[in-house]
């Protein structure tokens, strides 16, 4: 994969997420190429070698693009390149090559200097002790700090969610997902099991939708193997599959799915005899599940165990057995533990008191991850207090931040209450349907122009700032843009001729990837963002000859041209395009961008502005006269 210097890919994926996901999927080698030179890749390579259990491949660029005599080149000589390659080989990199800008002499020098290096062997999967799942941008590890798994994306006992699922309404599900993340959940249990819906289709759809608005990992929860496989197939990253149990039928159906999609798996301590009464019998089932997983090639650290909570009002001795089993699974088997706590109090008065106490006892028995409602203040307080008392909250900083001013904390408004979210919040959260509905509702109190200026543009500005500061990444940015697009569609008729006045926008801009360059993902992203800032975008596509661009500017009267180039070889074409625009379309402002562009290079080829990303392009276009 290709990464920026901040350790994130263009779409916001991190190095550790890459290693976890690709190793789980069974690749035979993994690593980095392109985007950066060996100097900039060095810290990332060090991290990958430390994390990976399989051979690492590194193919740097020949440094970074520089401008010499008006032409683009790279700043690392073959000798310097070879020295870095030698360093990588000694660190344990097994496959070394070159990407953009490297020539035969770079590779020849690398071959000579590394010929006597014996790379360190990668560690084995058994040596990787950590238990972790991930999304592209977030890794959650079990076994250190307490991991709260949010329980509220499960239709059992939740009529509103049941109705939403039957209606195919994802809005309720997405609001609940965002709300749980804001309340402190680090993983979300996702279950859509209802007897009258197509569960494989719905779980796959829900997985895509929830991953579009949250960046925390999911626990894919179903008793239907087909549904688990459908969801695992579309999941971005490494999920936790819930669940398998000690029955042979379950092991034979679920474990192949876990292995195929590189997931972690949650094992339930029950078998053909039901849930055992004693802790020892539950531990034996846990060991049997771990052994079966190993036989399928699933590392032991990717097996988590749920020792199962029984209703204490009906089986009063079972709570103690569950707690004993949790401790034994941790100490004797070395496996991480998960527990759904709230079932303990069913049928009793003042259930929260029982739930909180059981949670505290389970945490002190070695529980790694409670499945709970993160919005339950008592439960959340118990977890926060446990973290302080077990030295997992250094200086009690998290506890103090959460509870220092309890009055304000109780009064603070969450992102979503039960009522529908505001338009701005819907856009910021990437909720398309809600954004469209909220825009229509606001027409009753605000003019279309006021809605655009007071809600849509500020929301997009906030999202843009979040993108620039890397609080959100490209998928969230695009999702918010699509939500804004839905709100514009809702206002289209009312806006009418006033459409061009919003926020000073409405300008015409011609976009194109220059001649000889067939890469257009960056240009397409710019298009989506600009359209939702109310620019009139004329997209000419990719590999566009200079004369086609000048003709489009002349025909449309566009005030701005945006040019994209991804390859150093097509910067020359960009320069020729700019020269022709200066000759035939005097007064037009030209913004350039792309992976190989820099501010100096943009200046050297005669551009008016250089935009390092889509949001900067929007700002520059807004200022251009």
Confidence label for 395 from pLDDT (cuts 50, 70 and 90) = confident
Q: Check whether 160 has a pLDDT greater than 90.
A: yes
The average pLDDT across 360-387 equals: 96
Q: How confident is the model at residue 575 (pLDDT cuts 50, 70, 90)?
A: very high
Give the whole-angstrom CA distance, residue 558 versus residue 621.
12
- Does the pLDDT of residue 501 top 60, yes or no? no
Residue 499 has pLDDT above 50, yes or no: no
Q: What is the mean pLDDT of residues 354-366?
A: 96
Calpha distance 186→140 (Å, rounded): 7
User: Are 254 and 225 a contacting pair, CB within 8 Å?
Assistant: yes
Q: What are phi and psi of 440, to 5 degrees?
A: -65, -40
Q: Is 368 exposed, middle or buried (0-12, 13-18, 19+ CB in 10 A)?
A: buried
Other beta carbons within 10 Å of 393? 20
CA 134, CA 237: separation in Å to the nearest integer?
5
pLDDT value for 620: 92
Q: What percent of the chain has pLDDT over 70?
A: 93
Residue 394 neighbours by CB under 8 Å, 6+ apart: none
Cis amide linkage into residue 560, ω under 30° from 0: no
Alpha carbons 35 and 64: distance in angstroms, whole number: 8
Name the CATH architecture for the domain at 15-127: Alpha-Beta Barrel (3.20)
Contact of 77 with 66, CB cutoff 8 Å: no
Region(s) of the chain under CATH 3.20.20.330: 15-127
Q: What is the mean pLDDT of residues 617-625?
A: 86
Structure tokens at 534: 């109310």
Has residue 290 got a pLDDT over 50? yes
Distance in angstroms (rounded) separating the CA atoms of residues 206 and 190:
8
Give me the mean pLDDT over the 159-174 stretch.
94
Provide the greatest CA pair distance for the chain: 88
- What is the tens place of the pLDDT at every residue in 216-260? 999 999 999 999 999 999 999 999 999 999 999 999 999 999 999
Give the residue-averaged pLDDT of 116-132. 77
Q: Does the pLDDT value for residue 97 go beyond 50?
A: yes
- Cα–Cα distance for residue pair 522/516, rounded to 1 Å: 16
> pLDDT tier at 622 (50, 70, 90 boundaries)?
confident
3-state DSSP helix/strand/coil % of the chain, to nearest 5 = 50, 15, 35
> What single string gives the DSSP state of each residue in 462-499?
HHHHHHHTTSS-HHHHHHHHHHHHHHHHHHHHHHGGGG
Distance CA 438, CA 432 (A): 10
Angle 100-105-110 from CA coordinates, rounded to 5°: 85
Alpha-carbon distance 90 to 84, whole Å?
A: 10
Query: Which residues, at least 6 apart from 127, have a Cβ–Cβ distance to it below 8 Å?
Result: 53
Q: What is the average pLDDT score of the chain?
A: 89
Beta strand 95-96 pairing with 56-59: parallel
DSSP code, position 36: S
Q: Look up residue 341 and give its two tokens.
A: 């706590």
pLDDT category at 124 given cuts 50, 70, 90 is low
For residue 328, name the pLDDT band (cuts at 50, 70, 90): very high
Mark out the alpha helices in 506-560 (DSSP H runs): 521-532, 546-556
Give the pLDDT confidence score for residue 126 in this predicted structure. 60
Q: What is the DSSP secondary structure assignment for residue 122, as one 8-state letter?
A: P
Is the torsion defined by CA of 156, 161, 167, 171 positive or negative? negative
Q: What is the pLDDT of residue 141?
A: 97
Q: What residue ranges of the chain are covered by domains with CATH 3.40.50.280?
A: 505-625
- Confidence (pLDDT) at 129: 74
Per-residue pLDDT of 428-458, as tens digits, reads 888 989 999 999 999 989 888 788 878 888 8
Q: What is the dihedral of CA 59, 65, 71, 76, to 10 degrees?
A: -60
Distance CA 360, CA 383 (A): 8
All CATH 3.20.20.20 domain ranges in the chain, comma separated: 145-401
Q: Whole-angstrom Cα distance, residue 556 to residue 588?
A: 12
Long-range contacts of 348-353 (CB under 8 A, 24+ apart): 348/312, 348/313, 352/376, 352/378, 352/379, 353/378
Element (H, E) at 389: helix 377-389
Q: Is the pLDDT score of 409 beyond 50?
A: no
Q: Do 414 and 408 touch, CB atoms closer than 8 A?
A: no
Q: Hey, what are 401's tokens?
A: 């931040």
Residues 44-67: tens digit of each pLDDT: 999 999 999 999 999 999 998 887
| SS3 category, 42 | helix
The yes-or-no verdict on residue 272 having pLDDT over 80 is: yes
Query: Which CATH number among 3.30.70.1140, 3.20.20.20, 3.40.50.11780, 3.30.1330.90 corresponds to the domain 145-401?
Result: 3.20.20.20
CATH fold for domain 505-625:
Rossmann fold (3.40.50)
Q: Answer yes or no: are the C-beta atoms of 155 and 169 closer than 8 Å.
A: no
């Amino acid at each position: 994969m290709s990464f920026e210097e901040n350790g994130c890919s263009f779409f916001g994926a991190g190095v550790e997420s890459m290693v976890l996901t690709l190793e789980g999927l069974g690749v035979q080698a993994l690593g980095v190429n392109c985007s950066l030179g060996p100097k900039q890749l060095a810290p990332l390579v060090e991290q990958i070698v430390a994390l990976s259990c399989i051979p690492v491949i590194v193919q740097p660029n020949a440094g970074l693009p520089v401008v010499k005599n008006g032409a683009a080149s790279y700043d690392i000589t073959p000798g310097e390149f070879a020295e870095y390659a030698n360093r990588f080989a000694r660190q344990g990199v097994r496959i070394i090559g070159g990407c953009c800008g490297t020539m035969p002499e770079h590779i020849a020098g690398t071959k000579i200097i590394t010929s006597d290096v014996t790379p360190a062997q990668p560690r084995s999967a058994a040596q990787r002790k950590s238990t972790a799942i991930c999304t592209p941008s977030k890794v959650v590890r079990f076994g250190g700090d307490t991991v709260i798994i949010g329980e509220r994306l499960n239709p059992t006992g939740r009529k509103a969610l049941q109705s939403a699922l039957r209606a195919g309404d994802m809005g309720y599900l997405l609001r609940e997902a965002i709300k749980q993340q804001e309340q402190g959940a680090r993983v979300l249990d996702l279950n859509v099991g209802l007897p009258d819906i197509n569960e494989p289709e719905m779980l796959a759809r829900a997985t895509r939708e929830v991953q579009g608005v949250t960046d925390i990992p999911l626990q894919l929860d179903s008793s239907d193997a087909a549904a688990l496989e459908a969801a695992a197939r579309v999941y971005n990253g490494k999920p936790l599959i819930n669940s398998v149990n000690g029955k042979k039928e379950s092991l034979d159906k679920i474990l192949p799915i876990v292995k195929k999609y590189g997931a972690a798996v949650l094992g339930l301590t029950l078998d053909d005899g039901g849930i055992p009464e004693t802790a020892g019998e539950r531990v034996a089932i846990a060991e049997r599940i771990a052994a079966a997983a190993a036989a399928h090639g699933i590392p032991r650290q990717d097996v988590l165990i749920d020792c199962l909570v029984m209703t204490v009002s009906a089986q009063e001795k079972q709570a103690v057995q569950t707690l004993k089993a949790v401790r034994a699974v941790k100490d004797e088997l070395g496996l991480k533990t998960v527990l759904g706590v709230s079932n303990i109090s069913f049928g009793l008065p003042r259930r929260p008191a029982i739930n909180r106490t059981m949670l505290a006892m389970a945490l002190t028995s070695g529980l790694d991850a409670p499945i709970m409602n993160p919005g339950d203040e008592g439960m959340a307080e118990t977890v926060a207090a446990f973290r302080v008392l077990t030295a997992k909250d250094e200086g009690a900083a998290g506890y103090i931040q959460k509870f220092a001013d309890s009055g304000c904390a109780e009064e603070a408004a969450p992102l979503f209450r039960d009522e529908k979210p505001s338009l701005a919040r819907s856009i910021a959260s990437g909720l398309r349907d809600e954004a469209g509905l909220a825009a229509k509702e606001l027409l009753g109190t605000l003019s279309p122009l006021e809605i655009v200026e007071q809600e849509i543009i500020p929301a997009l500005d906030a999202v843009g700032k979040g993108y620039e500061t890397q609080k959100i990444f490209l998928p969230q940015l695009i999702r918010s843009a699509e939500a804004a697009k839905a709100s514009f569609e809702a206002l289209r008729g009312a806006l009418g001729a006033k459409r061009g006045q919003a926020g000073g926008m409405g300008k015409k801009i011609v976009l194109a990837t220059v001649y000889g360059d067939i890469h257009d993902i960056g240009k397409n992203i710019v298009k989506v963002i600009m359209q939702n800032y109310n620019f009139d975008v004329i997209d000419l596509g990719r590999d566009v000859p200079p004369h086609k661009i000048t003709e489009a500017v002349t025909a449309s009267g566009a005030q701005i041209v945006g040019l994209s180039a991804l390859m150093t070889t097509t910067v020359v074409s960009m320069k020729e395009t700019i020269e022709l625009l200066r000759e035939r379309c005097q007064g037009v402002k030209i913004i350039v961008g792309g992976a190989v562009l820099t501010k100096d290079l943009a200046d050297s080829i005669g551009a008016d502005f250089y935009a390092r990303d889509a949001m900067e392009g929007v700002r520059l276009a807004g200022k251009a006269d």
